[in-house]
Structure formats: structure tokens, C-alpha cells
Amino acid sequence: MNTKQTVLDKLFQNKTELSEKVELSLLSELDGFTRVVEDARIKLDDFSNDWVIRYINLQKESNTLRDLYYDYSAYISDLQKSMDSLDANVSELGIDAMSIQAYEDAAYARGVYKTNLDSFSDIIETANNMDQL
């Protein structure tokens, strides 16, 4: 073999060994990144599943909250109707309904209840605007 061929053979051999080392290190690095990405995917998947469950439970709670709000509103309306009936009956007798303690208490309570109902309206509006999953 001539000198030129020997040098080329040695260069080729070194290049092959170097290539194998580079490839092995790249494979190891690639495997490491793949494991890191897989771990991150599992964490994200687990957390998102938990979040969906909590969100669905919150939607159920918001439905209950709305139902309670509408019941509360209906009961206030029923109270008002009862007060109106009593007022109509006693006014025929010439009596001011506010002179009756039970009516006065009911009128005060109705005012408090209506104020409470108004304060809940922002919460109910937020509950109504929840996107359904």
C-alpha cells in the first residue's frame, strides 16, 4: 500500500469512529429529551384530567347555585304576593297594613331579601357564563 492510501484509510477509520461516537451521544441525548418530554406529557395529562373533573364539579355546583337563586327569588315573590293580599284585605277595613307587626316584619325582611338577591346577581351572572364542557 502506498502512503497516500494509508493516510486516507486512517482518516476514513478515524472519521468512522468519530461518527459512531457522535451518533451514540446524539442517540443518548435524543433518548433523554424523549423521556423528559414524555414525563412532561404525563404530568400535563394528569393535571388536565384533574382540572376537567374539578371544572365539571364546579359546573354542577353552579347549576345548584342558580337553582337556589331562582328559588330564593320565587319565594320573595310569593312573600310579596302574600303581603299584597293582606294589604288589600286590611285596607278594606280601613287598617294600614304597616300597623300590623307581622306585615311590618315581612316588609322589612322582603327589603333585606331583595338586597341580598341583588348582591347575588353578579355571582349568578358569572355562573351563567361558564362554558360547558
Would you list the domain boundaries of the chain?
A: 3-128
* Grid cell locating 131: 362554558
pLDDT confidence of residue 53: 95
Q: pTM value?
A: 0.61
pLDDT confidence of residue 106: 95
Q: Which amino acid is present at 25?
A: S
Residue 84 CA to residue 132 CA, distance in Å, equals 40
In this predicted structure, the answer to whether residue 38 has a pLDDT above a threshold of 60 is yes
Q: Which amino acid is present at 118?
A: D
Predicted confidence band of residue 131 (pLDDT cuts 50, 70, 90) = confident
pLDDT confidence of residue 74: 95
